[in-house]
Structure formats: C-alpha cells, structure tokens
C-alpha cells in the first residue's frame, strides 16, 4: 500500500467484467488504484492497461502478483481459470475479490477452501454481488425482522436477453443459477440439500442444442422450496425477480418500476439490457466494501464457504440436468474459520 494507504489492485482477466471492474476501481472506488492487469490475450491486457496511468499489462499472473505495487487481487477471468489464480494469491497471502463462481465444481472449490484454511485466516471475498443490491438488501432486512413469519417458498426469475456464444446447457446452472443458489442460502439462512432440474421444450430462439429455458427446484434444510426459472435467450432484456412467500405475507423485488411513463394511450417503463446495467450500483458497492474492509485488515462479504456451497449445489444441478431426477447435495463439515 502507498503511504496514504491506497490499495494497489491487480485485475486478472480483462474481458467484459474485468474491464468494467478496472473502470470501476479507477473511476468510482475510493482508496484503491489499478496497479496491474493480466490477460492471456496480451493485446486486450495492453488496451485495458492503457486506460490507467502507471498500470502495467501482464500475460502471466505470477509476475503481476509478485509486483511491489500489488497489494490485492481482483479475479475476473473465466470460471475455470479461477482456481489457479486463487491458489497463487493465497500462496502470496494476498486479499482477493473473486468473481462468481468461486470455481465451476465442488472438488476445485474444496481445494481453495483447504488452502485458505491452511493459511489460517480468511483472505477471499466471492463476487455474489446481489448481496449488495439495494432491492435484495431490503428483502433480506424485511425477512430478518420476522414480520412476515417463516419463509415457505422463494420464486426466482432470471432472464438474459441473449447468451454468449460459448454458453452451454450446464452453464445455465453453474454460471447463471449460481446467483440464485447464493441468494437462496443468504436470504433464508439455510443450506440447500437437493436439486431437481426440469427441461421445458427449448425456445426456438435458443442456439441449437442449448437447453434454454430450464426450471430448477432447490430444497433447503429447513423444508423451504426455492424455484428458479432460468431463461438466457428471452430476447427482450435482463430481468431478475424474487418473491418470498412466508407464513404471514409475501415480499417481492425486481419489477423494475423505478419510473413509469404514460403517453399516447399507453403506460410503461424500460427494461435493463444486461447485468452491467441492472447491477451497476451493486458492483460499485461490492468493490468499495471489499476495498474498505481490506484497508482495515478485514475480510467481509460472501466467503469461500459460500462459494464452495454454491459450487456443490450447482454440480448437483448439472447432474440432475444431465441424468434427470432429484440429486442430493453433499457438503463437507463447515470449518470453524467460516463461523
């Protein structure tokens, strides 16, 4: 850290999310600067580094993590590349903000959990940014007051306008439903014990061979059900909605009614087109919270345990998608490090 305590951050992966996080740390976040960026694609790394004075571009994360002006790491490479970046950052005992998913499967997530445990202290915050979204925070606070009574069911809708070309049917679970997995555990304060994935007839607008949409049912240890409609080629925009049904009432977010216009015999609003637009404030708050906690020498936010639990649930979901039926979720015992 500099004398004035500014955190030097290395951003690994400079694609859609990584480039947006570089912009955020550079222009929005206080108390941090982007010291280095890393991407396997050297040209992309150079282009992004050129937007920040003094930022160096690397193709090798080891050289970035060893740099004297790097105090912390923000991982925004593709999911399968997270494990090696996390293990190296933990070897250097560097604080990490890792985009979701922690890793794409339970075995690799467990290796990260074991590495952090071996270090003896928490170092990693996982990028489940919905926990920083104003609407989700309101929903969580409402549930925590107990005024609605015990939650019985959670209905989630998660729609993307279009999926990227590399998207597979499994990724609807491991990359997209990963969010609802975390939201369900966080909102209800319960682990997920089983997953069933149902396959409606695919939309004619989905790329050939992509099972889109899917309908996912998550069962929790307290007997609640959380269902997720995941539809990543809905065509009209980006929609994330959640409704909790409790014993004495319901609470719902995500209707996007921030402004409604009336004109020429119609009324209506607009729909965000992607996550960068819908969750812009949440990403800002997430990164600021990470920088603030890191500068205080603390680690807050979603933990490696949360990332591991989500990975185990998603892995069970992918098995259900491929083999059919209800798949139980097996978790190791929760280590004391994670409360």
Ligand X SMILES: NC(=O)C1=CN([C@@H]2O[C@H](COP(=O)(O)OP(=O)(O)OC[C@H]3O[C@@H](n4cnc5c(N)ncnc54)[C@H](O)[C@@H]3O)[C@@H](O)[C@H]2O)C=CC1
Residues contributing to the site for ligand X (CB under 6 A): 12-18, 38-41, 44, 61, 76-79, 81, 99-100, 127, 129, 175, 275, 279
Minimum Å gap between C-beta 232 and ligand ISE is 6
Torsion, Cα of 244, 330, 123, 94 (10° steps): -130
Q: Which of 70, 97, 218, 232 binds ligand ISE (CB under 6 A)?
A: 232
Using CB distances below 5 to 8 A depending on partner kind, what does residue 232 bind out of ligand ISE, ligand X, none? ligand ISE
Minimum Å gap between C-beta 234 and ligand ISE is 11
Q: Which is nearer to ligand X, 172 or 246 (CB)?
A: 172
Site membership for ligand ISE, residue 214 (CB under 6 A) = no
Minimum Å gap between C-beta 228 and ligand ISE is 11
3-state secondary structure 139-182: HHHHHHHCCCCCEEEEEEEEECCCCCCCCCHHHHHHHHHHHHHH
Question: How many CA atoms within 13 Å lie on the side-chain side of 54?
Answer: 9
Nearest residue to ligand X on Cβ basis: 15
> Of residues 151-170, which lie at the interface with ligand ISE (CB under 6 A)?
160
Instruction: Write the CA distances from 223 to 28, 146, 271, integer angstroms.
Output: 42, 17, 34
Q: Which of 128, 132, 136, 275 binds ligand ISE (CB under 6 A)?
A: 275
Neighbouring CB atoms inside 10 A of 328's CB total 10
Contact 216, 180 (CB under 8 A): yes
- Burial of residue 202 (CB within 10 Å: 0-12, 13-18, 19+) is middle
Site membership for ligand ISE, residue 220 (CB under 6 A) = no
- Burial of residue 21 (CB within 10 Å: 0-12, 13-18, 19+) is buried
Q: Which of 83, 116, 133, 175 binds ligand ISE (CB under 6 A)?
A: 175
Using CB distances below 5 to 8 A depending on partner kind, what does residue 160 bind out of ligand ISE, ligand X, none? ligand ISE
Residues that bind ligand ISE (CB under 6 A): 160, 175-176, 179, 232, 275
């Amino acid at each position: 850290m500099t004398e004035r305590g500014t955190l030097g951050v290395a951003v690994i992966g400079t694609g859609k999310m990584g480039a947006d996080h570089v912009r955020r740390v550079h222009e929005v976040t206080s108390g941090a600067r982007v010291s280095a960026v890393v991407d396997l694609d050297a040209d992309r790394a150079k282009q992004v580094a050129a937007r920040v004075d003094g930022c160096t571009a690397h193709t090798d994360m080891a050289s970035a993590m060893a740099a004297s002006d790097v105090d912390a790491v923000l991982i925004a490479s593709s999911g399968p590349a997270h494990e090696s970046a996390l293990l190296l950052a933990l070897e250097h005992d560097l604080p990490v903000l890792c985009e979701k998913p922690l890793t794409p499967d339970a075995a690799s997530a467990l290796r990260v959990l074991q590495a952090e445990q071996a270090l003896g202290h928490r170092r990693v915050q996982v990028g489940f940014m919905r926990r920083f979204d104003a609407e989700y925070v309101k929903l969580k606070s409402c549930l925590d007051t107990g005024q609605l009574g015990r939650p019985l069911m959670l209905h989630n809708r998660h729609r993307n306008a279009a999926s990227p070309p590399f998207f597979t049917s499994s990724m609807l679970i491991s990359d997209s439903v990963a969010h609802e997995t975390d939201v369900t555990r966080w909102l209800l304060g319960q682990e997920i014990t089983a997953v069933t994935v149902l396959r409606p007839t695919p939309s004619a607008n989905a790329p050939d061979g992509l099972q889109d949409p899917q309908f996912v049912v998550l069962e929790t240890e307290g007997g609640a059900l959380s269902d997720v409609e995941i539809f990543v080629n809905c065509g009209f925009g980006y929609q994330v909605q959640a409704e909790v049904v409790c014993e004495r009432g319901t609470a719902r977010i995500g209707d996007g009614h921030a402004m409604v216009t009336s004109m020429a015999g119609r009324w209506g609003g607009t729909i965000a087109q992607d996550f960068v637009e819908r969750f812009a404030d949440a990403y800002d708050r997430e990164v600021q919270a990470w920088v603030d906690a890191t500068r205080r020498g603390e680690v807050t936010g979603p933990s490696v345990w949360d990332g591991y639990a989500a990975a185990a649930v998603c892995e069970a979901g992918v098995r259900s998608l491929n083999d059919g039926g209800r798949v139980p979720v097996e978790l190791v015992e929760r280590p004391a490090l994670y409360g």
